[in-house]
Amino acid sequence: MSVMDMTSAVLGMIPGLDQPVYLNQEPDESEMPPWVIATCTTDGHRSTEAARYTAHVGRLEIRVVDLTAGAVNVICDDRIIPAMKYRVPAKTSGFTVGQLILDADSGAYAAGLTADDTSRRYQVRVLRFRFTWTRP
């Protein structure tokens, strides 16, 4: 099983949403929000003090974009965070994956992208989870 299969298992934990969800890709330029963009990376490693155990570090970033801060917060607080925080991905052959830890939460903020019909700035919220993974 490859690292890509392991990251697919992590991305597969994202709950079904009413908005389009883009996994490890950006939406087309012609597509307008609302949307959710999830990116999973596996870089870095941590060693124990005795250097007997090394765990690789993975990061999952989820960007939620919608018209209002309220809509962004509902998606994050009611759907994504409860479905992801402290959860462990399904067993993946060849890897041991730790639980997802909410590492950073930007809170809702105005993006540089504006709606064509209202000229209002879209709202964005970025959630960053970290997890460890090892190969037995």
Q: What is the mean pLDDT of residues 49-69?
A: 82
**56/47 Cα distance (integer angstroms):** 9
Type of residue numbered 52: R
* Contacting residues for 127 by C-beta, under 8 A, at least 6 apart: 61, 62, 64, 76, 80, 81, 84, 102, 104, 105, 106
The rounded percent of the chain whose pLDDT value lies above 70 is 88
**40/57 Cα distance (integer angstroms):** 11
Residue 125 has pLDDT above 90, yes or no: yes
pLDDT at 50: 55
Residue 24 · residue 39 · CB < 8 Å: yes
Record the pTM.
0.85
pLDDT at 37: 94
Q: What is the mean pLDDT of residues 47-51?
A: 54
Cα–Cα nearest to 85, from 96, 100, 74 = 100
Type of residue numbered 135: R
Place 48 in a pLDDT band, splitting at 50, 70 and 90.
Answer: low
Q: What is the mean pLDDT of residues 106-120?
A: 88
